[in-house]
Amino acid sequence: MTEAFVGIGSNVDPEQHVTQAVKLLRARFGKLHLSPFYRNPAVGFDGDDFLNGIAVFETSLSVAELVRALDRIELDCGRERGAARFAPRTLDLDLLLYGDLVTEAPAKLPRKEILKYSFVLKPLADLAPDHRHPQTGETYAAHWASFSGERSGLSAVSLPDP
């Protein structure tokens, strides 16, 4: 079994889609540990605020199988493929980490967004502060403490228990 960290984000009816995603992830993968969820402004385009958080769970699926399973959940939540990269999303599920694997294919791991965006790093630091980034060797708590990117606009959100 491998520990998988998955980013969950939405800015189209975000409370509904994030809650639905958590339910579908639980149904598919069993026990989840969830980070706090954060509201943050859209990045790269003008749009409604996003809700972002992270789920971690154990899986025996390969990276390719896991990415396909996450894509299926996105589609089940109304995600339309082929839209612009920086555009509104009903649901975005990103495999951030798969154990300590560093690879380019079938998915780029670890995701570069971990160290680039506060809405990825902060929930990861909340959920797994003592875990170490597989490339830098630093803990996520240390990365958050030294984060020099944009932190404003990030606010914790309470969601109903899915």
Distance between CA atoms of residues 37 and 40, nearest Å: 10
Q: Helix 14-29 vs helix 63-76: angle between axes, to the nearest 10 degrees?
A: 140
Phi–psi pair at 110, nearest 5 degrees: -70, 155
How many other CB atoms sit within 10 Å of the CB of residue 145?
11
Whether omega for the bond prior to residue 134 falls within 30 degrees of 0, making it cis, is no
List 72, 92, 111, 151, catalytic entry: 92
List 39, 49, 81, 94, catalytic entry: 94
79 part of the active site:
yes
List 26, 71, 72, 79, catalytic entry: 79
Ramachandran region, residue 92 (left: φ > 0; alpha: ψ -120 to 50; beta: rest): beta
89 part of the active site:
yes
151 part of the active site:
no
49 part of the active site:
no
List 39, 89, 100, 161, catalytic entry: 89
Catalytic amino acids? 79, 89, 92, 94
